[in-house]
Amino acid sequence: MQVVHVASEVFPFSRSGGLGDVLGVLPAVQAELGAEVTVVSPWYADVQEAVTPLWRGVLAGVPGQPPLPEVRVGEVRRGGVRFLFVGLACFDRPGLYHPDDVWRFSLFGRAVLPVLAQLGVRPDVLHGHDWQAGLVVAHARLSGVRSVFSVHNLQYQGRWNLLDGMGWTGLPEWAFTHETLEFHGDVNLMKAGLVFSSQVTTVSPTYAREITTPEFGEGLEGLMTRLRAEGRLSGILNGLDQARWDPASDPDVPVFTDPRGKGAAVAALRAEFGLDGAPILASVSRLAEQKGMDLLIGALPQLVQDWNVVVLGGGDPALEAGLREWAAHPRVVFAQGMNEPLAHRIYAGADAFAMPSRFEPCGLSQMIAMRYGTLPVVRATGGLVDTVPADVGFSFAQASVGALVAACGEARAAFDDPAGWEARAARAMRLEFSWDGPAREYLGLYARVLSGAAPAVAGLVEA
């Protein structure tokens, strides 16, 4: 089976969060299981690894649409996977994401299939990830290529006004109805992936149920409910790169294999930041309301009475400013930005880990924390429900400061029972988050997509 993944980021070449992490591992595991796997992603200016140039030229694109600008294509082969990088001038700038991304990823979306054709790659199944790949999925359907579309975060949908968007996509006029790409007067590239794919997945079973409701559906709950009723929406829980996050071999921390060996990592983190003897509650996160970081800041007056609090992350300037102000407190540490070696030291050296997310499609941080015997305090939503057992972590239902403080209080009381805490940490470290199971689930889904009839799309007349 020839599988082509299309995504806006892939670790270690480009990464801003969990999407990049998934694409850094899932394709390699699928290749180990016997699939022929290619990953297609933009060739950002920030890609530092040596990329072998393969081709440069102007692609014909879609008949009747403006030609695409010059494209350059490069390749890296690693771990049994072929990575193809599509270079367009609009991606030749620092950083991954920018305000004109709907236009940029429309060009990218038009270019992917012609690039594959130029290189002689004919996928059996195309697997698109999030809105940046939604247009690729639409063009795949028009070209007779079966596809799966994964929603990693429904909040980000790739919307732009219809007048501009219709001219950017290379799709026929009939594709811009309420049943297809139109959404409240905009083009919606997330909706393109949802409508034109054969199967839609999310990154946890609970999130797949949640997005059929108004609270989590981001305006698309009606479509999600219909997809679920048609048997086209399911949740496959993300795995974790257990080699990259392994306390027994991690070069960034004092290695350990059980909770009793964790003490050196805790002592090292305490010494690094000059913390007192109180237990350490940590967070490694994008600073955003989705992640509930405003709740964490609001809880700090109560938390610092019982915990040292260490936060690593960047994002919302207002949240960064709030944490910088609190960093003057002797029990609060704020390290701005992302620093992977420091992240490893924090996961290993903290006692507990806070994830007060308003919604969390899957989440990897709680899995990493448990791998290091660090017990999560999480809101009961999305993948946090699916991954944090009640006899390991601590959860709360309401997205409020009071609920977070209460859950942290429960964790603090549990910490005062060393034997009970150690037993929780031992259970955490034994949990299995391998990618092998999810990779097999996806391969099984691809097989069903290839064997079944493609779902109807309003306005589409197929040969």
DSSP 8-state class, residue 79: T
Residue 66 pLDDT > 80, yes or no? no
Residue 427 pLDDT > 80, yes or no? yes
Residue 411 pLDDT > 70, yes or no? yes
DSSP-based three-state secondary structure for 409: helix
pLDDT of the residue at 28: 96
Residue 115 pLDDT > 80, yes or no? yes
DSSP 8-state class, residue 171: -
Cα angle 192-197-201, degrees, rounded to a multiple of 5 = 100
Residue 463 pLDDT > 60, yes or no? no
pLDDT of the residue at 338: 85
Alpha-carbon dihedral sign for residues 316, 317, 318, 323: positive
Best CA proximity match to 151, nearest among 214, 212, 229, 215 = 212
Contact indicator for 405, 224 with CB cutoff of 8 Å: no
Residue 462 pLDDT > 90, yes or no? no
Residue 72 marked as a ligand binder: no
DSSP-based three-state secondary structure for 452: coil
Identity of the amino acid at 147: S
Q: What does the pLDDT look like over 162-179, one tens digit per residue?
A: 999 999 999 999 999 999
pTM of the model: 0.93
pLDDT of the residue at 18: 86
Best CA proximity match to 368, nearest among 393, 334, 331 = 393
Q: What does the pLDDT look like over 190-225, one tens digit per residue?
A: 999 999 999 999 999 999 999 999 999 999 999 999
Q: What does the pLDDT look like over 321-335, one tens digit per residue?
A: 999 999 999 999 999
DSSP 8-state class, residue 90: G
DSSP-based three-state secondary structure for 439: helix
The length of the chain, given as a count of residues:
463
**Residue with more model confidence, 66 or 370:** 370
d(CA 25, CA 435): 8
pLDDT cut 70: percent of the chain above it:
99
**Residue with more model confidence, 32 or 59:** 32
Cα angle 293-295-297, degrees, rounded to a multiple of 5 = 70
The structure tokens listed for 4 are 């082509």
CA-derived radius of gyration, the chain: 23
